[in-house]
């Protein structure tokens, strides 16, 4: 059975810490953690985070209680996307339902999106999003794990 433990460790290292899938009116996937930033505001114990992928044209932003657990996405999760085809190129999406789950608020988040050949990491936060957002363009669903880098 030791081979099973080794296989699980190697498999976990190869998977990205951020893998947020956007489906619905927009369709894309965020797989890069290095562009994600967050910090905990000590004055109100709130986690402020911005997630993006350089190829996505979208920024996800949220402010939730800075504690491990599930937090409502409604009115706390937003996204801004760029639509070059529309008359108004910026589309603002607002959370209507779902959760932002914080799994570890003192995580070690590897740089280079978890590349096993790079051993450097920073302090950060790991979590999971499962939420719906709406805009005048329709509805999108966000689903998947995320990791963000924090200066703390």
What are 33-76's pLDDT values in tens digits? 889 999 999 999 999 999 998 888 899 999 999 999 999 999 99
Q: Are 102 and 26 in contact (CB under 8 A)?
A: no
State which residues form the domain around 101. Answer: 2-149
Question: What's the structural domain count of the chain?
Answer: 1
> What's the rounded Cα separation, in Å, for the pair 57 and 20?
14
How is residue 122 written in tokens? 């920073």
pTM of whole model > 0.85? no
How is residue 10 written in tokens? 């190697």
Per residue of the chain (152 residues), give pLDDT as tens.
443 333 333 334 456 799 999 999 999 999 988 899 999 999 999 999 999 988 888 999 999 999 999 999 999 999 999 876 767 788 999 999 999 999 999 999 988 755 667 677 889 999 999 999 999 889 999 999 999 999 87
What is the rounded CA–CA span in Å between residue 105 and residue 66? Answer: 7
């Amino acid at each position: 059975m030791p081979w099973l433990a080794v296989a699980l460790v190697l498999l976990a290292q190869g998977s990205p810490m951020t893998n947020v899938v956007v489906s619905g009116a927009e369709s894309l996937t965020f797989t890069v953690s290095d562009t994600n930033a967050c910090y905990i505001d000590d004055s109100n114990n709130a986690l402020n985070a911005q997630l993006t992928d350089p190829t996505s044209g979208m920024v996800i932003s949220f402010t939730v209680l800075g504690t491990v657990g599930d937090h409502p996405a409604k009115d706390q999760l937003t996204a801004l996307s760029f639509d070059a085809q529309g008359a108004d190129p910026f589309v603002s999406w607002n959370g209507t339902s779902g959760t932002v789950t914080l799994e570890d608020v003192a995580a070690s988040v590897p740089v280079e999106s978890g590349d096993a050949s790079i051993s450097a990491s920073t302090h950060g936060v790991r979590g999971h999003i499962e939420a719906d957002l709406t805009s005048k363009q329709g509805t999108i669903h966000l689903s998947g794990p995320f990791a963000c880098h924090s200066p703390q």
